[in-house]
Structure 1
């Protein structure tokens, strides 16, 4: 028998310290090799540390909430000769990828042991059709840190797959995005009253009824998602007059990145109102397509394709500025800004420019699942070239986004909702959104920025342009 001291390993990425977040074992517990001992937080990620030994937990040397340097003993484990793994060095936890240029730290990564997401039900479609952050109810969100219980996690929580449509109806589903106007929502009077009482727009609800009708469950699910981003009640003031939150870990990294971006790159911002009715129609057609069965489809998918198309026509927005040169990237690693309980992260879809619409939809879905489960790795954060941030899920019309560090462009998608709009001299109800964008003015001149945003808007107005 011997007593081994397990020290805080090198977590990579040039980091030298970490905070002990939560112990997963207690003195006297019998553990095996690779069993998770503790959850730590660095400025880059939330990581579960596995044990290199099999044995019995002795003493926990560092309490939760304490920040310690790499190499500090944090726990003792009593082992025998058969239980130890002396030939294997203490694992280096964390990805070996280069530091991400994202404005904040990546979501939790678990290289040695998979994270265990909290239990929860299925989530619904985004009320605006676009995405930035998760639409899942608080109960369905992973709550890896106790102080964050109930917080929403990643952008665009996925809905249950829509039922397959009749092949006779879907044979020409995606032949062309140029389609007729959106048909009426099928829902019984009691369902319509329920939706009105709960403040749910039936046009944004994905129906799951046997004849394509909206059910009571559909409305309740959508209402629960909307409530995540709205203050349902006003809480009482706490007894303490002030609350002090230490600036460390991810929050410290976010603050530093935001300041660096805002005061290094001179931002210029533009805005445009867009009639998104045809995009909404196209999305509804895709949802009933057998090719897209079981795949998350939302207007963000069309937005992503629009940006890739516009980047090809205006490559300077996909560049990065250094003191010596401007590097223009002829590929698109499309970043999707996401809010998590630990802060803002920006994972990106690698080589999005090479993907078909279906491949891109699947990639966005996988990105979402990974973020929801807390498994976004530093490598998935690195190498982004341009970013989408969706404030529409909060019901916001527009905003002035701050650039992701190392990028020259970021586009903000506002909420998509029906508004009066002049069409052929007549005022009609149309689905309208506002697209905002910020650019690094050292790289992108006003004419390039304007042409790029106009190109994005043209696709949202008429997705058929993607077929050219």
Structure 2
């Protein structure tokens, strides 16, 4: 019989510390090789650490909520003769269990009732849509208690909404096909609160997704009840600490220059509608952000400097596009990216964005997907924002914000007409991108939003 200590490993993210979130075992428990011992939180993600050997848990050497350096012993395990052992393997990202796990609409811009967003993670600007989450409790361990994060007990999820966010349930029967009912159940949407837009009042997929989007946004902005304490103190750690460090470094290192332009997006909205009705795109989520992503790739090819990196010694111009998409999750902002996006067809890009969104929503985005981005798009329109000044993702020199798309008066051929209009906002690192290049790039993006047929050139 021997006592072995398991040290906090380097999880391959280039990080030096992690927080012990939740123990999955207790002293006296028998453990096997690769059984999950603990859930940790790094600056990038939640990770489950498997046991490298079999035996009996002796002691938990670090308490939940404590941040420790890589190499620190965190648990001891007593092994008998011949006990199986294994080299520690790189842990897989954990699935975050949270009552806020259903995120707001996916990579769709916030649009008028004529065009609703699709499901998935909210893609927004820099800043979290809320960091409320719940921790799982390990056996025999003291639960973590955070002011904004009550522990989750095994019970059906309760969907919180503002008083006026959802109309009273109708007495009329709900008309919805089984797949739509399953989608509503998965997204925690009350079908009786939805007014169907299909034939004979049938509830469609878009109806459910729109309702889920609105509910998630309301959850993010919901005002909590006043607590007895006059102040609330939230430790700066994990993802929030990483966001603060990265944004401060970006804002005060790279001299930002920002540009804005209003765009007639009517033909983009029409194009999105045609794609949704196309058999080639059946079962694939399509939104205006897909066209926005393709527009940025097209514009990068014409203006490669905006797809660069500044290193003090040299400017690295990348002739490939790893397109970052800012995603607000309950744990905070992450920016996963679609690798080699320039080589993808429109259909392939739509599938890649869907996978990226669903992975972020499920809390499974691996660190590798958040690294080596070359340029970023952020969708602030999902919150109804017209525009904003985005901060550059560290290591990049360009970022574009897509505002809400809604009907406005617009002059066409000398006549005022109702058109779908959006505002694009972009920021650039002025050390690399001069004003003329920045202007041409944003104008190129706008030209695709105004006329998607240019993508066929």
Partner of residue 227 from structure 1, selected from 204, 215, 235 = 215
**Residue 317 (structure 1) aligns with:** 306
Post-superposition shift, 1:19? 1.2
* 1:341-380 alpha-carbon deviations (Å, 9 max, x no partner): 2221111111111110001111111111221222222221
Any conservation in 1 of the 2:117–2:210 contact (CA below 8 Å)?
Answer: no
Per-residue CA distance 1:49-76 (angstroms, 9 max, x = gap): 1011223323222110111222222222
Cα distance 1:304–1:319, how it changes in 2: closer, same or farther (>3 A)? same
Instruction: Give the whole-Å Cα distance in 1 for the aligned partners of 2:195 and 2:248.
Output: 40
Structure-2 change in CA distance of 1:212 and 1:27 (3 Å)? farther
> What's the CA shift for 1:216?
7.8
Deviation of 1:2 after TM superposition, in Å, equals 3.4
| Runs of 5+ unmatched residues, structure 2 | 124-128, 137-143, 151-171, 174-193
Q: Deviations over 1:257-303 (max 9, x none)?
A: 11111111111100011111111111111111111111111000000
CA 1:123 to 1:335, structure 2 compared with 1: closer, same or farther past 3 Å? closer
Partner of 1:134: 121
> What TM-score, normalized by structure 1, do the two folds share?
0.76
What's the TM-score, normalizing by structure 2? 0.78
- Give yes or no for the alignment of 1:78 onto 2:78: yes
Q: Secondary structure at the match of 2:56?
A: strand
Give the unaligned 5+ runs of structure 1: 95-108, 151-189, 192-204
SS at structure 2 position matched to 1:274: strand
Which secondary structure does the structure 1 equivalent of 2:388 belong to? coil
User: Which of the numbers 272, 278, 302 marks the counterpart of 1:289?
Assistant: 278
CA distance in 2, matches of 1:419, 1:384: 35
Q: Which residue of 1 aligns with 2:287?
A: 298
- Give the deviation of 1:324 after TM superposition: 2.1
Deviation at 1:253, TM superposition (A): 1.7
Aligned to 1:307: 296
Deviation at residue 338 of structure 1 after TM alignment: 1.0
In 2, the alpha carbon distance for the partners of 1:256 and 1:131 equals 32
Offset at residue 84 of structure 1 (A): 2.7
Q: Are positions 1:448 and 2:429 aligned together?
A: no
- Superposed counterparts of 1:346-365, under 5 Å: 346-365=335-354
Q: Which residue of 2 aligns with 1:242?
A: 231
Contact 1:142/1:373, CA 8 A, preserved across alignment: no
Deviations 1:442-468 (A, max 9, x none): 111111111111110111111011011
Separation (CA, whole Å) in 1 of partners of 2:80 and 2:23: 23
Tell me which residue corresponds to 1:368.
357
- In structure 2, the CA distance between the partners of 1:335 and 1:359, relative to structure 1 (3 Å rule), is same
Task: Give the Cα separation in 2 of the matches to 1:352 and 1:396.
Answer: 27
SS at match of 1:436: strand
Tell me which residue corresponds to 2:16: 16
Distance in structure 2 (CA, Å) of the matches to 1:287 and 1:142 = 34
Mapped to 1, the partners of 2:32 and 2:87 lie a distance apart of 16
Q: Structure 1: how far apart are the matches of 2:117 and 2:203?
A: 22
DSSP 3-state at the match of 2:218: coil
